[in-house]
Amino acid sequence: MADLPREPFDETDDAERFDNYLDALISGERPSPDDVASGEEASMARTAAELAAAASVAHAGVQGADPDPAFVEQLRLRMRQADAGIASVQVQLPVHTKPAISPTSAPTDVTRIRISRRALLQAGAGAAVGLAAGTLGLAALRPTPTQRPLGGDAPLVKGQGFWQSVASVAAVPPGSAVRFTTASFAGYVVNDAGQIRALSSVCTHMGCTLYFRPDWKDLRCPCHGASFDLQGQLANGRDTWKQTGGYFGDATAYPVSLPALVRPSVKIENGQIYVWTAQI
Amino acid sequence: MATSPDPPSGPAADTAPSPGRFEEIYDAHVVPIYRFIYARVGNAPDAEDLTAQVFMRAVEQLDTTRDMGQIVSWLYRVSQNAIADYWRAFYRLPVIGADQMGAGWEPADTAMTASSAEQPSPTTGGERAKKQVDSLLRRLPANYRRVLELRFIQRLTVAETADQMGITRGNAKVLQYRALRKAALVGEAADG
C-alpha cells in the first residue's frame, strides 16, 4: 500500500465493482451501467471510454475503432428497407368492414397502401390550409424533465409541416391503437381511456418497430423487449420494476433506461384524427 | 404543386424521388460518423447502436435535397445528441450538453465541427488520438499514469498489471479507480 495515497475511507468495494465496467470496456464489450454507481463514477466512466477509444485509435490493431464491415452492410439493408417503406400511408377503409377492435384482438387489422411521396405531398398540402399548429394531444403531456425524445428540446417538426389525417375517431375505440405512416413519420394513434394520442412506433433503443399489445396497453419492441406505456414512457425499466416488483409476464426488467417515444401533436376535427407531420 | 422539395427532373421522379441518395450519403459518412461516436463511447457495440440510430433517423427526417454540407452538419448534430443521450440515460449524469461532449481533456482543436469532421484522415486521427492520450497521462502522478498505460494501452488484465507493478490485484483495482477519478478531474479542470 506504500505507493497509494491514504484515503479517509476504504474504496475496495467501489474499485472492485468499477473494474467490471473497465474490464468490459477494455475487452471491447458493452459495459453495463450497473457497474457505475454515482455521478462521479459516470465521469470516470466517460473518461475511461474516451481513453479506451483514443488508445485503440492511436495504437492500431485493436478491434472496434473502425466499424465492422458486416455491421455497415447490415445497417445499409435496414436503411434501404426503411427508405422504401416510408412512402406508405395508413388509409381508412371506405366502409367499416372490420369488427370494432376489442381489447383482446390481435393487432393485425391495419390496412396499409403504398402511395408515392408526390401524391402524399399533394394530399397533405390541401389538408394543411389554414390550420394553425394546435396541440390537443400535447395538452396531456406529463412532465418529463430527464426523458426527452432524442434530440432534446428541438420541436417535433422543424420547418414546414402539415396536418395529416390518419384515422377516424370511430376506428379507435378506448383501449385500441391504429398504426399509421405519414411521409415523415411512423406511429400509432392510441385511445387511452378516452384520450387520443399519437406515439412514434420506433423503439428508442435501436429503431425496431413496436407493436401494440391490447391486453397490456403498451407498445412492445420485438427486438429486445422494451415496453412503452401509452404516454410513451419506458414501462418495464428497472425503476418501474423496483416500484412494482415486475412487469406482467416479463422475466427481467429492461436493463437500461430509454428516451421516451416521440409524440407528435394531434387534433380531432369532424370525427377525423389528424397528426402534425413534417413536410419532406 | 408548389411543394419545394420536388426534384426538378421529369416523370421518372414520381415513384422514387431520390433513388440512391441515402446510400450515397451513407457510403460517404457511415465510417466517419462511427469513428466520431466510437471516440466518445469507447466500445464497438454501443458505437454500432448509436450509429444505427443516427442513420435510421436520417431515413425518417433528413431532407436529402439539401446540399452535402448541410447534410453533414445535420448528421454530426444528431450524433452529438445521441451521444449526449447515451451518457445521460445510461449513466444518469445530470446533463451533458452537446457542446461539452468529448471536450473533456482533449485539446481544443479536436472539438468537432462539421467541417473538421468532414475529412478525417486515418493518419491525423491516429496522431490526434495519441496526443489526447499523452496529454492526459502527462498530467497524472507516475503510478496513476503507469496503471492506465498498462490497462488501456497495453491492454493487460488487472492480474498482469498488478504483477508488472509488484502490487496486489486489489491494490491495482483501487489504483486504477483513483487514477481515473483524478483523470476525470483533470479533464474537468482543463475544460473550464
ipTM of the complex: 0.75
Instruction: Among A88-92, A206-210, B89-93, name the most confident range.
Output: A206-210
CA of B164 vs chain A CAs: smallest distance (Å): 14
- pLDDT class of B62 with cuts at 50, 70, 90: confident
The CA distance from B2 to the nearest CA of chain A, in Å, is: 9
Predicted local distance difference test score (pLDDT) of residue B64 = 79
Q: Tell me which residue in B87, B105, B171 faces A4 most closely, judged by beta carbons.
A: B171
Question: What is the pLDDT, as a whole number, of residue A138?
Answer: 34
**pLDDT, position A143:** 34
Lowest mean pLDDT among A102-106, A225-229, B39-43, B91-95: A102-106
Residue B173 C-alpha cell reads as 483495482
CA atoms of A218 and A90, how far apart (whole Å)? 20
Q: From the candidates B53, B180, B185, which should be mutated to test the interface with A, based on the most A CB atoms within 10 A?
A: B180
CB contact (8 A) between residue A12 and residue B176: no
pTM for the whole thing? Answer: 0.52
Give pLDDT tens digits for A169-222: 999 998 899 999 888 889 999 998 888 999 999 999 888 899 999 888 999 998
Distance from CA of A116 to the nearest CA of B (A): 5
Band of the pLDDT at A137, cuts 50, 70, 90?
Answer: very low
pLDDT value at residue B120: 44
> What digits encode the pLDDT tens for the residues B20-40?
778 889 999 999 999 999 999
Answer yes or no: do A43 and B45 touch at CB < 8 A: no
Closest Cα of chain A to B104: distance in Å? 8
Classify A214 in phi/psi space as left (phi over 0), alpha (psi -120 to 50) or beta: alpha
What pLDDT is attached to residue A251?
Answer: 76
What pLDDT score was predicted for residue B108? 31
Phi, psi of A172 (to 5 degrees): -125, 75
Percent of chain A with pLDDT over 90: 21
Flag if A39 and B93 touch (Cβ within 8 Å).
yes
Contact B104 A47 (CB under 8 A): yes
Q: Across the beta sheet with A186-192, what order do the strands follow?
A: A177-181, A186-192, A195-200
Residue A212: per-residue pLDDT: 93
- Exposed, middle or buried: residue B39 (CB in 10 Å: 0-12, 13-18, 19+)? buried
- The C-alpha of A104 sits at a distance from chain B's nearest C-alpha, in angstroms, of 31
Mean confidence (pLDDT) of chain A: 73
Distance between A108 CA and the closest CA of chain B, angstroms: 24
Using a CB–CB cutoff of 8 Å, tell me whether B7 touches chain A: no
Q: Which residues of A touch B126 (CB under 8 A)?
A: 57-58, 60
A255: closest chain B residue by CA: B90
What is the signed CA dihedral for B179, B180, B182, B188, rounded to 10 degrees?
160
Contact in structure between A58 and B129 (CB atoms under 8 Å): yes
Q: Tell me what pLDDT residue B190 has.
A: 63
Q: Using CB atoms, pick whichever of A3, A64, A83 lies closest to residue B44.
A: A64
Q: Which region among A111-115, A197-201, A230-234, A271-275 has the lowest average model confidence (pLDDT)?
A: A111-115
Write out pLDDT tens, residues B148-171.
999 998 889 999 999 999 999 999
CA A212 vs. chain centroid, Å, equals: 13
Q: Cell 507516475 maps to which residue?
A: B142
Q: In B, residues 30-89, which contact A (CB 8 Å cutoff)?
A: 30-31, 34-35, 38-49, 51-53, 55-61, 63, 78, 81-82, 84-85, 87-89
**CB nearest B81 (choices: A72, A125, A152):** A152
Interface of B with A in 103-142 (CB under 8 A): 104-106, 125-127, 129-130, 132-133, 136
Tally of helices (H runs) and strands (E runs) in chain B:
8, 0
Q: What is the pLDDT of residue A155?
A: 60
